[in-house]
Structure formats: structure tokens, C-alpha cells
Structure 1
Amino acid sequence: MLKRLYDWTLDRAASPHAERFLGFVSFADSSFFPVPPDIMLIPMALAEPKKALRYAAIATVTSVLGAILGYAIGALLFDAVAKPLLSFYGYLPVFENFQARFNAHGWLIMFLFAFTPLPYKVATIAAGATGLSLPAVVLMSILGRGGRFFLVALLMRRFGAQAAAIIDRHFHKLALTFVALLLGSFLVLHYAA
């Protein structure tokens, strides 16, 4: 099933709407959506390595805009929107512990959540709810998300053909590794809070 999704995404990477879809996923991931933009960015960069940096720029800009929405949800709509959203994803108990320590290390936390597979929406909503400086959120979003997306884009641009061959040959192992890293990040989030 994952291989079919990967192949489908590669096919869509060449469509005229691929950049818009990447932008939507990147925007939504930073505020309310559970799917990371890497699922679009990597296949798109593999399909067209010369456009990889453009794709990274789209993902970065829309992700930062999504982070501002996540911040607004936390700052303006925490009780009405953020609590039910966090509860829906099972993050509310974690968030309550996380909020207590957030402002002390907010800059570092924003960067780590932006750069790693940890759910970035939790950090953006927490930043708004705890009153972390919006310029800090924007700066750490640019550095963390931009660093992550441009690193992926540069790797795909430089090693695109080899990366595609490796992914095709070892797709199932890579998919299992990604799932393990994702689950590990949730465990880190759970026990760090």
C-alpha cells in the first residue's frame, strides 16, 4: 500500500497542481494536519531534481504561514479550537505538561519541532497559548523548516537518481524505518513532557 502511495505521489509530482498540493500540505502540517510535507517534497524533488530548491522554498514559506495560523489558534482560540484539536490527536495531556516548561526553552523547542519529525502543530499551538514571541516562532520556523526542507532538496538534487534507485530497491525497509522514527518521536514527545 505504501509503495502504491509513493508511486502515485511520484506521478502527481509532475502534474500542474503538485506545487499547490505541496503548499497546502506544508501549510496544514504546521497548524492542524497530521501528514508531513516530506511525503510530497521528496517524490517531487526526485521526479524533478532541478526544481528541488523551488519545492523546498514553497514548503518553507507555506509551512511558516501555517505556523502563524497554529500560533493564532493557540493565542486566540485555545479553548474553542486548540483544546479540542489537541484532544482529538491525543496531545492534550502532553500539552499541559509541555506548556509549563515551554517558555523557558521556547526558541530551542520551536527549532527542534520544526526540524525533526515531531508534530510541529503542537509547538506552534503551544507557542500561541503560552505567549511565546511571534517573531521567535517565525524565525525558528524559517530556520528549522527551511533547514529541513532545503537539506532534503539538496540531497535529492545531488543524489536524485541514486536516491530514487535506493528508494525503489529498499522501499519497504525505508518505510519501516520512517514509521519507527515517527513512533519514536511521539514517544520522545510523550516522555519529555
Structure 2
Amino acid sequence: MFQDVLDFLMKFGPWGLFIHSFLDAVIFPIPAFFLQVSLSLLNPSTALWLATAGFIGCLLGTPVGYMIGKLLGKSVLYKILKKEWIDAATERFQKNGEAAILVGSFTPIPFKVFTILSGCLNFPLWRLIAYAAIGRATKFYVVGILFYLYGRSAEGMVKNVSLYIFIIAVPLLLIGVYWNRRRKRKRNEAIQAETDQPASEVTISDQQTPSA
């Protein structure tokens, strides 16, 4: 049945990939990566346009998946997705939501797990969209660029593209997340120190004032 759906979407070219990517972020169990590769093989010169269509579709589908999780909760996840996918994603979210979304953009776990789970756990929507944009853009455009530069011979290269991105890009992205969180923590500590300082000065001044 799913193969029939893919064959149907393939007839519409970039628009088919757009729809597939949208559904991939909401409910469809087959990653848009497979349709992107198939369409890129047909016409490698359109690979970058295909990557753009897939990326936009994913971004538009992300808030829809989020609202499903927000309104229906985890019960819908366990009905449409595998328990091990949900448990793995939940564990990552509990440790670091941003990292979970970035890593989830490249793992075999369907991305819809992270969009719906974000809604279930009340993860900020704007942060979900921001980190999803980084992760999904990386994956879509790496595949697109490879086909655009190397044509049909890129088919062998993209088979393990998720692994390569995971090894190279994800550590860099996670370092960026860690650095940003560390910078914010230092800034908050500085603000807190400035807030506490006047209070301490007032207390000392009061103690030094002689009583009448």
C-alpha cells in the first residue's frame, strides 16, 4: 500500500515530494528521503529544487505534528508508531530536547515522532521549528547537492548519507547547542550577580547606620 502511495506521489515530481515531506512530519511512516532519491535519479539537474520542496514541506508539517501531540497526547503515538521509537525519542527529550530534535533529523526514527512528542511534552514550538529547520535542511540539501554535482552516480553516495551526516554534522551542531546554552547560563549568572549586589550594599549600609 505504501509503495502505491509513493508511486502515486512520484508522478507529481517536486509537488509529490512536498506532500510526502509534509506527511512525513505528521503521520506517514516512510521517510521522504526515499522519494527524494528516486526523483533525483530521474532528473539530477532538479535535485536542488527537490531538496527545497522537501524542506519547505517538512517545515510546514512540523507544527501540524506538534498540534496533534498537543491535543491528543501520547495515546496517539502508541497507536500509530512503534513503542521502541517513542521510548528512544522520549529518553532523548528528557536529556536534551534540542539535541533530540537535531539527532532525530538523521536517525531512522521517523521525524513525526519528534514533532508529535514535542507537543506531548510542551516543548516550545518555535524551538522545535528552529532546530528542525537546521537538521532537515542539512539532510535534504546534502542529498540534493550530491545529485546536482555528480548526477546519477551519486546514488551510491547517498545510501549512507544519514550515517555521514550523523558522524560529521551532528557533533558540530551539538557543540553549537552546548556553547549557546553555556553562554546563556553565564549571562544569567552575571545578571543574577548584578541583581544581588545592590541588595547586599543596602544591607551593609543599614547595618552601619547608627540607631537614634
Same fold at TM > 0.5: yes
> Displacement, 1:156?
1.0
Shift of residue 20 of structure 1? 1.9
Matches within 5 A, 1:15-164: 15=11, 17-78=12-73, 82-91=74-83, 95=86, 98-99=89-90, 102-163=93-154
Q: d(CA) in 2 for partners of 1:84 and 1:161? A: 40
Shift of 1:111: 0.8
| Residue 90 (structure 1) shift | 2.6
| Higher-Rg member (1/2) | 2
TM-score, L = length of structure 2: 0.64
Contact 1:103–1:130, Cα closer than 8 Å, also in 2: no
Could you tell me how far apart the structure 1 residues matched to 2:69 and 2:136 are?
20
Overall identity of the aligned pairs, in %: 27
Identify the residue that residue 195 of structure 2 maps to in structure 1.
none
Give the TM-score normalised by the residue count of structure 1: 0.70
Letter in 2 for 1:83: S
What 5-or-longer segments of structure 1 have no aligned partner?
A: 168-173, 182-193
- The CA distance in 2 between the partners of 1:12 and 1:67, in whole Å, is 20
| In structure 1, distance between residues paired with 2:102 and 2:58 | 13
Higher relative contact order (CA 8 A, sep 6+): 1
Size of the aligned set, in residue pairs, is 157
- Distance in 2 between residues matched to 1:103 and 1:135, nearest whole Å: 18
Cα distance in 2 between the residues matched to 1:163 and 1:98: 31
Distance 1:98 1:148, change over 3 A: closer
Distance 2:98 2:45 in 1: 33
